[in-house]
Structure 1
């Protein structure tokens, strides 16, 4: 009985130990189950962290790929633009002697079309001027002379229409004055003559003006000068703005190679260049209105003489260009 009681107590102790120890066997070693649970939790955290890292890396690769693709698209657009510019230069050709005037040369189709139209305009203007000069010399009646004056005024309106189309096609060609002779270009202002300067010339070559006419011409000259000053200031501001746009970050440390930024700069500059057309349109509108107002101030015969004076002045400028280009060249100079 003593032996049996001892065995029973031992068995009870073993069962108790089994319940309290919760031991497990892993790879032949005894491991505490609490430590096993902790290790399992740590493994899950590690797996989640690795998965998050892989996802972040995947998104980073996608962003990098999209950025590289954007740069590639911008580079391709830039290459196409440069190719188009080079193609335009290679296809350009020279036109000289348009309208019997030396010194005209251009390369774009729009500029060439304008030069041809301007040459035709000069030819027709010369015929109208010849008719008007003959009418004045033959003491033609005012009614007949008025028809010629109105035809010349309408012909100037046609010039402003041609210039408006030419400005849309090639604003730089119109502003450069390459469609005129070198001497004419020296006195150009925003693609044409200065109305105020033209009025100064006319006052000294017309018949004696009445006090009312003289006052009207003086007021017209003053208002034209003010409008020219305003347009000139606006043009200077636009040019400075364009310079600031083109020079922004061009020498900075971050300017090496971001094609997207370069294309953005060019887009802004192109938008500002487009406003040049408006400046030329405003200047031509001022010239057109000055001629029309002068026509209203003067009598028919005075207006006819004024148009002849304008024509003769421009003809002498063109002749001066021809004489200058044909002058003997002094090799010792």
Structure 2
């Protein structure tokens, strides 16, 4: 009994010790697992913070680059505006790429557009002055000076177009320097003088019989000159088409190549006559300006129109063109479905 009791006590003590060891072991492993979990969470947080810092750094760099790009674009725009302003002042065109400026002979189309813009700006100023003088009932002497200035300014644009045709006759004939609505009424790069005279007759009524006769004669001579130019242009187009058509076909052999080059040279020569058409247009336009200043010295007649009629006529022609430009603006700004 004593031995059994002793064995039992021993077993009990061993179990108790084992349990104690097991308990202590579990207690000793608990903090280790917790520390590892905390360390893992700390590493994830650090990685997240590092990623956020990197993203913020890249965002700042992108923002800085964007601001620099905006500043660069602003400087380029300012430079371009300055170049265009200098071009308007000097009567030449300066390209946005900073290339060397070119005069009318070097870049006719662009230079002519700039020159025409300056002419139109000056023309509007003169017309405003003329309207003010008419509204304020200025004297004939003062009004005559303004009218003569406007007429002389009209003569300038005919000469400018003739000079531009030497550099780029196609640009002048196409009328691309005008608004879309104006181009619908253009004839060889300008308005028909005969049509403008018809407009003036309705705007200047009542006219005396003598004035009607003089305007009718001027209209007839303008119409004859316009018809002659139109017929000449048609003949040129037909001749040019026949010349170009004659060069069609295979051009492999040396003979065909020579024939092709010869026909192209002929076509180039015919195109050269286009400049002559523009010169003729200048004289037609200048004859239209005679409406305000020519006297018939044989009959000792005064000007065809009185000073005030001349002022009204110039204002009417200007308003006609202005309304065409306004119509173009309305057309381009129309809502599109």
Task: Give the TM-score taking structure 1 as reference length.
Answer: 0.65
Counterpart Cα distance in 1 of 2:224 and 2:287: 14
CA positional deviation for 1:294: 4.4
CA positional deviation for 1:226: 1.5
- For residue 176 of structure 2, give the secondary structure of its aligned residue in structure 1: coil
Match of 1:328 in 2: 335
The answer as to whether partners of 1:171 and 1:277 remain within 8 angstroms in 2 is yes
1:277 to 265, 275, 278: 275
Counterpart Cα distance in 2 of 1:214 and 1:177: 32
The answer as to whether partners of 2:159 and 2:282 remain within 8 angstroms in 1 is no
1:297 to 304, 323, 331: 304
The answer as to whether partners of 1:207 and 1:302 remain within 8 angstroms in 2 is no
Match of 1:174 in 2: 172
Counterpart Cα distance in 1 of 2:241 and 2:333: 38
2:218 to 220, 230, 239: 220
Match of 1:266 in 2: 264
CA positional deviation for 1:284: 2.2
1:311 to 302, 318, 321: 318
CA positional deviation for 1:249: 3.9
The answer as to whether partners of 2:185 and 2:191 remain within 8 angstroms in 1 is yes
Task: Could you tell me which runs of 5 or more consecutive residues in structure 1 were left unpaired when the two chains were aligned.
Answer: 1-94, 100-105
Counterpart Cα distance in 1 of 2:275 and 2:292: 26
- For residue 203 of structure 2, give the secondary structure of its aligned residue in structure 1: coil
- For residue 310 of structure 2, give the secondary structure of its aligned residue in structure 1: helix
- For residue 222 of structure 2, give the secondary structure of its aligned residue in structure 1: helix
CA positional deviation for 1:280: 1.5
CA positional deviation for 1:255: 3.7
1:27-80 Cα distance to aligned partner (Å, 9 max, x none): xxxxxxxxxxxxxxxxxxxxxxxxxxxxxxxxxxxxxxxxxxxxxxxxxxxxxx
Aligned pairs (5 A) from 1:157-196:
157-196=155-194
Counterpart Cα distance in 2 of 1:318 and 1:267: 40
Aligned pairs (5 A) from 1:4-19:
none
Counterpart Cα distance in 1 of 2:197 and 2:292: 9
Task: Could you tell me which runs of 5 or more consecutive residues in structure 2 were left unpaired when the two chains were aligned.
Answer: 1-83, 89-94, 96-105, 294-302
Count of aligned pairs: 225
Counterpart Cα distance in 1 of 2:151 and 2:247: 50
Gap change, CA 1:207 and 1:137, over 3 Å in 2: farther
1:199 to 170, 178, 197: 197
1:225-246 Cα distance to aligned partner (Å, 9 max, x none): 1111111011100110000111
CA positional deviation for 1:109: 2.0
- For residue 127 of structure 2, give the secondary structure of its aligned residue in structure 1: helix
1:69-108 Cα distance to aligned partner (Å, 9 max, x none): xxxxxxxxxxxxxxxxxxxxxxxxxx9xx99xxxxxx9x8
The answer as to whether partners of 1:192 and 1:284 remain within 8 angstroms in 2 is no
CA RMSD of aligned residues (A): 2.0
The answer as to whether partners of 2:204 and 2:312 remain within 8 angstroms in 1 is yes
